[in-house]
Structure 1
Amino acid sequence: MTENRIARAALTRLFEPGDTVGLALIARHGAHGALRIAIGARPAVPFGDVSADELAEALGRWAPRIKDLDAEADLATIERLGGGFLTPEDDRWPAGLAELEDAPIGLWYRGELGRGIPATGRSVAVTGSRDSTSYGTAVTGDLAHALAQRGICVISGLAYGIDAHAHRAALAGNQGEGPATIAVQAGGLDRDYPSGNAELAGAIRANGLIVSEQPPTTAPTRYRFLRRGRIMAALAGVTCVVEARWRSGALNTAHHAESLGRHVAAVPGSVHSANSAGCHRLLKEGGAVLVTDAAEISELLAA
């Protein structure tokens, strides 16, 4: 077990996703050096764009978590669960994540990694409202099933509603050529969240992957839910929003895709449906493309 892997595993517990000071430390000193500085084992000296005040504030933010650091125990836990931990140095690290300015320090995973993580050109993120309508459920099922039959991996967030329907339809349409679907969780992989989707999570692990930048036992929070959207967007060549309310979290994933220069697609709905207001907002205000079937999404992916 390398020093770098252990350090990155520890840092996923110490730093929140997108911690700019923490990421700057890693870029400057490497994972092991950053860990030593963060826990007070090496002097903390301001550098680059990180001021003394910013560094001091970050050290204070990390200090309460130092007592909980046990990277080797976390790595043993994920292995016991049949999973593992990927770092940017690994051959199987998803290339799409390199385009994120705040890429994950590492990725914890459970499932069939032997099939690999498909390139962005073979992956589509499908997401939307948790309180999906019968219309959204039907459209999601059609899209995800047809995408899977084309050998395209469907990425989503394992949430209730559109996400869960996307995963289920992808599993049903899987042609056995690579992972059917990948779920990105906001918390540790020692428990399925939400618990009501535990059976679905088991099916995903058997035919795909569940990944998270959070170590085992970490609870999901609103901030972590929002941050995981950037991973979903970075893993996919196209992000498709099927149903979303005006301020839906699914729009956050779409905005991350836009910032990466990836295609964003939106499914239109009734002008009377609050569940489609966010999709119409993307079409009106952003660079989203209106799509109605998997063939149109595939065309975007090929482009």
Structure 2
Amino acid sequence: MNDRIARAALTRLFDPQDTTGRALVGALGAYAALRVATGAQPPHTFRHIGEEELNEGLRRWAQRIPDVEAERDLATIERLGGGFLIPGDEHWPVGLDDLPGAPYGLWYVGNIAQGIPAVQRAAALTGSRDSTSYGAAVAADMAEGLARRGICVISGLGYGIDTHAHRGALAGGTGNGPATIAVAAGGLDRVYPSGNADLAAAIKASGLIVSEQPIGTAPTRARFLNRNRIIAALAGVTCVVEARWRSGALNAAHHAETIARLVAAVPGSVHSANSAGCHRLLKEGTAALVSDAAELAELLVS
């Protein structure tokens, strides 16, 4: 219980990219790291943390200590119909352990009874928020086909490709495991974007919405980018359906490549700016070319 409470507290105290906090947890474990970070235990010399670096971290964390109430957060997520997973739990997705900066824990709402599929049974679909009709149709058809094959579709609950991927997966769900899981960039007490509230409710009914961010945390650009690494780690393959040259969806593909996951991309018109990012991945050799659910599913078993 101490480890669970400590990890819940750390999701509010440390940013995911806080390397000093991560090093502290690596050296001491979550509970002792929390005590040092909050001043309950005096700091000492660490092999991989310089004194100046640690002091800067302590100054940074001090501003957040008044907001750290892990028991409150755990009670709130339970009232919302969810919980908080930590490494070692029955339903902890072990694919997250492949990340160099794995979440301290994973907040969730929805139906945990079916668990979170192994990466070999999950595919991430991502892409532009301003998707074209072509991208929307491909994402929906691909997601439905994957779900009919018992493959869980991972996406980010955003507008555009994310929305069509989740809806397609729900349409193809067989009831044998979650058809789709959404990874949010902020706290799970509110749906972002709010226009996807009905979609979020449908996902929670049969699947899950997860986040490394605690209740009440607003989504920001940095948190969206950090969220992408979780999307990539939950899936055996990350497929970019439609993306501009510098789309954030390419960030998810980069994270997948970093942890030796497969990357795929859907080709589009050479005249479409929304497919320029996909063509970039294909040209660089980063991604396999796929055109439907069967080809994407084949990558998971190859």
TM-score under structure 2 normalisation? 0.99
- Please state if 1:214 is matched with 2:213: yes
Partner of 2:266: 267
Structure 1 runs of 4+ off > 4 angstroms? none
**Partner deviation per Cα, 1:194-215 (whole Å, 9 max, x = no partner):** 1010110000000100000001
Residue ranges of structure 1 left out of the alignment (5+ in a row):
none
Superposed, 1:120-199 pairs within 5 Å as 120-199=119-198
The answer (yes or no) to whether the contact 1:242–1:266 under 8 Å persists in 2 is yes
For residue 59 of structure 1, report the CA deviation from its aligned partner: 1.1
Q: Which amino acid aligns with 2:153?
A: V
Return 232-241 or 39-48, whichever deviates more: 39-48
Superposed, 1:25-44 pairs within 5 Å as 25-44=24-43
Superposed, 1:2-81 pairs within 5 Å as 2-81=1-80
**Partner deviation per Cα, 1:114-145 (whole Å, 9 max, x = no partner):** 00100000000000000000000011111000
Partner of 1:285: 284
Three-state SS of the structure 2 residue aligned to 1:240 is: strand
- Please state if 1:232 is matched with 2:231: yes
**Partner deviation per Cα, 1:251-284 (whole Å, 9 max, x = no partner):** 0000000011111000000111000000001111
Partner of 2:94: 95
The answer (yes or no) to whether the contact 1:151–1:174 under 8 Å persists in 2 is yes
**Partner deviation per Cα, 1:87-107 (whole Å, 9 max, x = no partner):** 012121101011111000000
Cα distance between partner residues in 1 of 2:111 and 2:285: 36
Cα distance between partner residues in 1 of 2:74 and 2:259: 31
Cα distance between partner residues in 2 of 1:50 and 1:286: 38
Partner of 2:110: 111
Three-state SS of the structure 2 residue aligned to 1:192 is: coil
Three-state SS of the structure 1 residue aligned to 2:245 is: coil
Cα distance between partner residues in 2 of 1:159 and 1:54: 36
For residue 221 of structure 1, report the CA deviation from its aligned partner: 0.8
Three-state SS of the structure 1 residue aligned to 2:176 is: coil
Cα distance between partner residues in 1 of 2:90 and 2:206: 21
For residue 48 of structure 1, report the CA deviation from its aligned partner: 2.0
Q: Which amino acid aligns with 2:58?
A: L
**Partner deviation per Cα, 1:223-270 (whole Å, 9 max, x = no partner):** 110001000000000000000011111000000000111110000001
Return 55-64 or 171-180, whichever deviates more: 55-64
CA RMSD of aligned residues (A): 0.7
Cα distance between partner residues in 2 of 1:58 and 1:194: 32
Q: Which amino acid aligns with 1:247?
A: R
Cα distance between partner residues in 2 of 1:199 and 1:61: 38
For residue 46 of structure 1, report the CA deviation from its aligned partner: 3.2
Three-state SS of the structure 2 residue aligned to 1:210 is: strand
Cα distance between partner residues in 2 of 1:273 and 1:134: 12
The answer (yes or no) to whether the contact 1:18–1:103 under 8 Å persists in 2 is no
**Partner deviation per Cα, 1:168-205 (whole Å, 9 max, x = no partner):** 00000000110010000000000001101011000000
Cα distance between partner residues in 2 of 1:167 and 1:141: 8
Q: Percent identity?
A: 70
Return 47-56 or 291-300, whichever deviates more: 47-56
The answer (yes or no) to whether the contact 1:18–1:104 under 8 Å persists in 2 is no
Q: Which amino acid aligns with 1:31?
A: A
Q: Which amino acid aligns with 2:249?
A: A
For residue 165 of structure 1, report the CA deviation from its aligned partner: 0.4
Residue ranges of structure 2 left out of the alignment (5+ in a row):
none
